[in-house]
Chain A
Amino acid sequence: MLPRAEFVHWWFAGGFVMLALLAAAELVVGPDVWAMRAWRRYLWPGLMFLMGVLLWPVMTFYTNSTIHMIAHGSWAQVLMLAGGAELGLAAGKLHSQWWRLTSALAMVVSGAALILHEQQHWLFSRAAFLHHAMGWWLIAGAVFPLLRSFRPRSVVAASGWAVVFAVVAVMLFADRDTAEIFGHLSQYAGVPHR
């Protein structure tokens, strides 16, 4: 009765669309206008924290293997850490900009977990391809929150931050449990479906 893994990926993709929209809006108006209303400051950190919390049931119910459990558990932890740190900054409880490094850490850990827990090669199936692609994308994308820690008002960092979320959303929406990628699908992957 559990939902398929692809359904869970699509739900999280919806969350990433929302994160991308919020990041894009903050980029358009600038951090000062964005911070004019207190509730708005909590929006994307709160959503990120919530996504971290929601990864715990994913870890619990989709434990196909130890490496899956470690991957999902580490995502949950680093997303909650990053979301919590940004919430602390938004609330004024934390003051150091270095807390923003937790977002870069979250992306590097998530990317590494994606790559490490995908045991098949790139062209095994679409899901395998997307796990590899998302992993490397997140590791490369970590440069934007890293840059944001040093230069909080950088337009490049804010733009990259929004683009990273948008691309992750597209990749998660494209994920299917069993589907071909560039015409390749391993005979061991199972029966494809639309």
Chain B
Amino acid sequence: MSADYAHDSQQHVIERSETRSLRARVVLALGPATMLTGIAWAVIQPYRLTILHPHAQGFWWLLSEPPLYVVLAGIVFRLVVAPSLARDVDAAAR
């Protein structure tokens, strides 16, 4: 098991060191771009974030933070979808 892990880890390092294709870069950039959009929205309309002024707010208002939903979508995409997709698009390009 440990040899397998070492091999996978080394493979991972090799893959990361290789030049990414443009498509892979775009895929990897989609998540951060979405996160930045959410952050920019929060800066432009801070009143949409009730967590910044939580006093006397009910549960639903505190749960409803639209700019954070956008950031969350970007994080989920970047962590769950983008890594394997970037590897696959690079592998297909070779």
Contact = CB atoms under 8 A, between A and B. Distances in A.
Interface of A: 3-4, 6-7, 10-11, 13-14, 17-18, 21-22, 24-25, 28-29, 32-34, 36-37, 40, 43, 173, 194
Interface residues of B, number: 25
Nearest to A17: B73
A10 B66 contact: yes
Contact of B88 (A14, A33, A43): A33
B64 A33 contact: no
Contacts of B72: 14
Interface in B1-46: 23, 26-27, 30-31, 34
Contacts of B70: 14, 17, 173
B82 A25 contact: yes
A28 B76 CA distance: 18
Contacts of A10: 64, 66, 69
Interface residue SS majority, chain B? helix
Interface of B: 23, 26-27, 30-31, 34, 47, 60, 63-64, 66, 69-70, 72-74, 76-77, 81-82, 84-85, 88-89, 92
A36 B92 contact: yes
A6 B82 CA distance: 30
B69 A21 contact: no
B85 A25 contact: yes
A25 B66 contact: no
A32 B93 CA distance: 12
A194 B47 contact: yes
B88 A18 contact: no
B88 A13 contact: no
B23 to A, nearest CB: 5
28 contacts: A7-B64, A10-B66, A10-B69, A11-B69, A14-B66, A14-B70, A18-B76, A21-B30, A21-B81, A22-B77, A22-B81, A24-B30, A25-B27, A25-B30, A25-B82, A28-B26, A28-B27, A28-B89, A29-B27, A29-B88, A29-B89, A32-B92, A33-B88, A33-B92, A36-B88, A43-B81, A173-B70, A194-B47
A25 B34 CA distance: 12
- Nearest 7 CB-CB pairs, A to B? A14-B69, A3-B60, A17-B73, A7-B64, A29-B89, A21-B77, A10-B66
A13 B74 CA distance: 13
Given A10-B66, A24-B30, A18 B77 contact: yes
